[in-house]
Structure 1
Amino acid sequence: MLTADIDIGGTLTDGIFIDGQKLVCVKVDTTPHDLTVCLFECLREGATQLGYSDVDAFLENLELIRWSTTITSNVLAESRGPRIGLLVSRGHEKNLYAPDAHSVVLKGILSERDVIGVADSTSETEIMNSVRALLEGGVRRICVSLEGAHRSPEREMQIKRIIDQQYPDHFLGSVPVLAGSDISKSADDATRTYCAIINAYTHGALAGRRRSAARARLHRNVSGEPHQRRRCGDCQDQGDRYD
């Protein structure tokens, strides 16, 4: 089985290639302006060391590519993500279900003023008024993470549908909405909420790189379906809507 494991760092890109009999390691310069350039340069170097005449012949036989990057880490470290709005169960606006009095997330990528509490009795009109207030304040993505939603996600899905109906994705000015139960099935409400916030915050940058990789894949006629592995454990295919 021919496999490639490629890790793109800030300065160098490393590749490990195995064909079942031989293992080779390569290293090329990272190209920050377009990560697909160093990706294919690494593949080309690996193909050469395994004795292939060109990278296209190598790709025809390649069964698996594992591609890891520091894209999301860079977005978090440099605070380059969009402004996030969060809807949580009423009473958890400050702690986000954590045992501490105040959530550390609020001091980093999420502003306390962009967190709104909702209850089972909160009406559709009240929900939309809250969302409009967030958007008018500069929020660009909405997360919905309710207490106990890993067991009963219906209320999260209902709120998501309400927002999607008002801001459909095919309209100019659409609002991406992410439900915590879609991102993580953790029984811990705080963990599930943090996963949703981080995914929403970093998704734009990652989606842009994925689209570049998809275009390069089509240009090279690479077969197979790419998948994105989230740090929180589940798997998302290239065609998922949330972008």
Structure 2
Amino acid sequence: MELLLLLILAHILGDFYFQKNSWVACRQENHLKSPALYKHLLVHLVFTSLALLFAPIAISWQLPAAVALVVISHFIIDLIKSYLRPNLLNLVLDQLVHFLVLLFIWAWLDNLGWELVYELGYILLSPETLLLIAIYLIAATPTSILISTALKSYTRQLENAEDPQGLEKAGRLIGYTERWLIISFVLVGQYTGIGFLLAAKSIFRFGDLTSNHERRLTEYMLLGTLFSFAVALALGGIARYWLP
């Protein structure tokens, strides 16, 4: 496990702390001809080599091969990413592929073989893991659709109201995040965190509501918040009841 942690640490340093924004912009614009791409690969070569140097494993031909695998995989992944739109989904997929490469290197160098694959498969496909994935997925888009449908008649009443537009899709992401936080608080038994979350949201919303002097908007936001919290609490309760 120490080897895997060192590899992950090297990756985090190389990908997030020792990569300039100008490098990313250069790669997005010039792709294969970008000098920044090769500077980034050099950074990962150094950090991965240091990680393997300090890892508790024997010196062998596998170490330079592992470094080469990290560098080559970074080259391919980052080159492909340079042609894609920089958004959250592509960032998550990018980091997931990098992690899978590091996981493979760890299993290879530590001679874990198919035992690791079996254990990971058992964990990922266990009823507990599948239930958690289902709960968090339900708390996102399905719950947003449910709340939107429940408040549809009230939404029409606000269509002509003078209300400054917020950031596109920001409300949906706020809803996802607050419900995920509530479910997580329920699972760990930290119900006070839910109270702080509700208080924080109320504080941030207070200025909007008072500045608009709009009772309908206030009631609409209150209904949406209560629906969101109620569904999240119910999902969190279901997960906690069924999980050991």
TM-score by length of 1: 0.23
Q: Larger Cα Rg: Structure 1 or Structure 2?
A: 2
The structure with more strand, counted as a fraction of residues: 1
TM-score by length of 2: 0.23
